[in-house]
Amino acid sequence: MGCVRGKLAGFLLTMMLTILLSPMLEGGGDVTGGGPVLLRDIYMNAERVSEAMGMGGAVDPFLQKMVETVGADTSIDMVIQFPGRITGEDIVAVKRAGFRVIYRFSVVPALHVNGTGRALERLLRERDVFWCEYNERLQFFMDQSTTTINVTWVWDSVIERGARRDFRGIDGSGVTVVVLDSGIDAGHPDLDYGTKTIMNLKSDTGEDPWVEVENSDTSSGHGTHCAGTVAGNGDASGGARRGVAPGAHLIGLSVGEGFFITGAVGGLQWVYAHTRPGANPYNIRVVSNSWGAGGGEYSPKDVISIVSQRITYENNVVVVFAAGNSGGDGTDIQTSNYGNTPSNICVAAAERDGSGISDFSSKGQFGLEQTYPDVAAPGVRIWSTAARRTLISAMTKRGHATDFNPYYFPISGTSMATPHVAGAVALLFQACPSLKISDVMEEANETVREVWKEDPYAYVHEAELILEATARYMPPSGEGDPFADNYIPNNYSIGWDGKPFDLSQGFGLIQLDKAVGLALTLQELRTRDFNGDGVPDHPDATVMDALKQYLGIMEKRELEVEGSSGLYHNWKGEWSRFVNQSGKITSIETDQSHFVYIPEDAESLTVVLDYEAIRTSEPGVGTLAVVADVNGDGSPDWSQSLMNPSPHKENVINLASGSLSGHRGQVWVFNIEGRGFNFPILNLMQSTQYTEARVEYTVALIVETSSSDVNATFRDPHAIYGNWMPLERGNSTVRLTRQVYNLNNVKPIKEEVEKPAPRAGFPWIWALVVLLVLLAVAYVYRKQQDRLKNLVKKFRK
């Protein structure tokens, strides 16, 4: 009891200090001291820096402002870049100027140092320095959403090539996403440590050694929420709350809650080192960054921009950044300067239903197209995985008691939009492994585009082009000027593909059914041998080439599968109930609802349940049973025996006759009931919010029928609904509704045909022209002669 009181007192003290200190930390008080401090973002023009400090263009405007704020004799953290490889003389000069060297980066020639403004002046007078920036504290930008972006159609899509049909769909399999954030609770059922989250590394600063842990997100839960949106498998919800790329793997990089530029660089440096060509065993293709330093234009000197560009250009890894949560009215730049780096994808937060942009989503500045977001994704009240022992999840759950589920909670922010796009990129790389940097320059106004012509890093990745080309531009809705009620401006620019984009949403809301179709078309163009000579005909095909014909391969259609004996559907999950440390059992178990349409032609339904009765990883035991609500009243109408402790249960329901025969042609709601407990004696030494009794399971449904035509075309796009697959070896024709990508419709690229030269022979057209000219001259001459004769006659009179 004394331990509990001590923890409670510590928590209350932390909260009181946070409340008392927050005005000062946000710039409302006098800021002094030697360490990094958190201030409101302030943008300052580079020319003013030069005038004020006489340091030329080598000092970041925000660093200059920090020196002015804390005083020239107060030590602060900085990042100093050198124009080339760091030498011993550079290190000596840095120390002689008065700096303490904290860390030396390997990907860029830069040092993390601590020192005063006067030390900076001394260093700049002595050494040639490329760029100096403040080690700013970075801010975390915090299930309908998968339906809004049309990704549920992609997961079980059918790819047709030749006479073959591939029913496996596109779910991110074979691709790994790095989540650089507060960490990942890989003990969560949706983020399984070792299988889903294949590595989970923690470093207090990003400069210290990386340590492998199961749960690296023990303070906020921000990174866990993002990871679930990227690639969570949905086990804690029976698949209903899967991430965008549920087949992808995850790697967590945690630098804790004190998230500074140096920590971020350390994380990105890890990504760079582990994604080098030929040395990327996990096939890392995207890194998700739901954090930033505030609004500003892209600076080619910023260390995070430099490392991001090297990751993309040298290692072919897409870097995704949140636009920020500072709103804006278009009169200044609110979008993240890191998101505005050309090779990075900058993500705005849309409403969950795709009706507009959120009020908090950072906007660009009117007329500066290079500051506009690239695309938008849902970012309002996004339900995703909850780190089970964190402050955010505890506070959020108190505010959503009616929606309580210990494994999920909703929060809003461009942080929540960003992992949607990171997951989307994983899908695109599965569909088109040949994706690479493009030859299309990032959108910008004319002045900046002229400057960028000399910048080799001003181009975007093909994954970004695909998302932009297939996005749905959300029109302004309602009144208001310059913004409509849905925070879309009434004016827009025209982008690289001839489509509109604006300072709120970029090119619009991502649409992944189309994006995957475009990626599949591009891969087919690059790899197919159209003329049969054994060599691909268009290995250098571009997104522009695929854009001309990708819609021709896409169809949401009724699919007929002959030679089937029926239907099957299966899903997996993890049932659990929770026990407080006091031993009191909570009143709510996790909801495992799974909706399945039962065809009218079904004659029997076999229900098979397999589960792990004895759990060894976190010792415990349990018994489960499948229940079904067939009439939608919320109560089970059929169930397996919970008293039967067997880990394998199989039951056949007669649908041709009996009490349930009248419920064919309806949606049944399946759920899991259970009993279980773990061994609390083994958890006494753990500092946990609660312990869990957890049981993993799989359910399979099999429909058999003697009908020659089985109609299973019912389709609801929400992830909570299951979809049937055809059984083999039978005499029935099964009809299903699917997103079909028919790659047989991809055609070879048409070469530009030169206009044929005119045929040789007498140039009749020119003869006609000459004749007409001669006639015109004769006519004018005749008129002039007549006029002259008339004048002569008049003169003689």
* Top-confidence residue, 25 or 644: 644
Cβ-contact 328, 295 below 8 angstroms: yes
Residue 774 maps to a domain: no
Residue 243 and residue 378: Cα distance in Å, rounded? Answer: 13
pLDDT exceeds 50 at position 49: no
pLDDT exceeds 50 at position 150: yes
Residue 618 and residue 632: Cα distance in Å, rounded? Answer: 36
Residue 561 maps to a domain: no
Tokens of 2: 């004394």
Residue 307 Cα to chain centre, angstroms:
19
Residue 786 maps to a domain: no
Q: What are phi and psi of 384, to 5 degrees?
A: -155, -175
pLDDT exceeds 90 at position 287: yes
pLDDT interval class at 619 (50, 70, 90): confident
Other Cβ atoms within 10 Å of 479 Cβ, number: 9
Least confident of 378-382, 603-607, 755-759: 755-759
pLDDT interval class at 480 (50, 70, 90): confident
- Judge if 101 and 155 occupy the same domain: no
- Judge if 454 and 504 occupy the same domain: yes
> What would the pLDDT profile of 210-249 be if each residue is shown by its tens digit?
999 999 988 778 999 999 999 999 999 999 999 999 999 9
- Judge if 20 and 150 occupy the same domain: no
- Judge if 613 and 710 occupy the same domain: yes
Least confident of 55-59, 442-446, 561-565, 572-576: 55-59
Residue 718 maps to a domain: yes
**Full domain range(s) for residue 18:** 1-30
**Coil/strand/helix, residue 308:** helix
Query: For position 44, what pLDDT does the model report?
Result: 25
Final residue belonging to a domain, choices 669, 692, 727: 727
Least confident of 107-116, 676-685, 726-735: 676-685
pLDDT exceeds 60 at position 56: no
- Judge if 23 and 61 occupy the same domain: no
Q: Among candidates 392, 224, 413, 422, which has minimal Cα distance to 324? A: 413
Angle at 212 between CA 260 and CA 613, to 5 degrees: 130
Cβ-contact 134, 44 below 8 angstroms: no
**Domains: count for the chain:** 4
Place of tokens 């049981």: 695
Q: Is the dihedral of CA 192, 194, 199, 202 positive or negative?
A: positive
Query: For position 527, what pLDDT does the model report?
Result: 98
Q: What is the pTM (predicted TM-score) of this model?
A: 0.82
- Judge if 353 and 394 occupy the same domain: yes
> What would the pLDDT profile of 414-453 be if each residue is shown by its tens digit?
999 999 999 999 999 999 999 999 999 999 988 998 888 8
Residue 272 maps to a domain: yes
- Judge if 192 and 236 occupy the same domain: yes
pLDDT exceeds 80 at position 770: no
Query: For position 405, what pLDDT does the model report?
Result: 64
- Judge if 338 and 428 occupy the same domain: yes
Query: For position 766, what pLDDT does the model report?
Result: 65
Q: Among candidates 473, 498, 495, which has minimal Cα distance to 486? A: 473
pLDDT exceeds 60 at position 192: yes
Tokens of 354: 């795709």
Query: For position 789, what pLDDT does the model report?
Result: 66
Query: For position 409, what pLDDT does the model report?
Result: 84
Residue 207 CB burial class (10 angstroms; 0-12, 13-18, ≥19): middle
- Judge if 194 and 105 occupy the same domain: no
Residue 276 maps to a domain: yes
End-to-end CA distance of the chain: 137
pLDDT exceeds 90 at position 47: no
- Judge if 704 and 606 occupy the same domain: yes
- Judge if 17 and 67 occupy the same domain: no
CA atoms within 13 A on the CB side of 554: 19
CATH number at residue 52: 3.30.70.80
pLDDT interval class at 588 (50, 70, 90): low
- Judge if 38 and 26 occupy the same domain: no
pLDDT exceeds 80 at position 680: no
Cβ-contact 319, 344 below 8 angstroms: yes
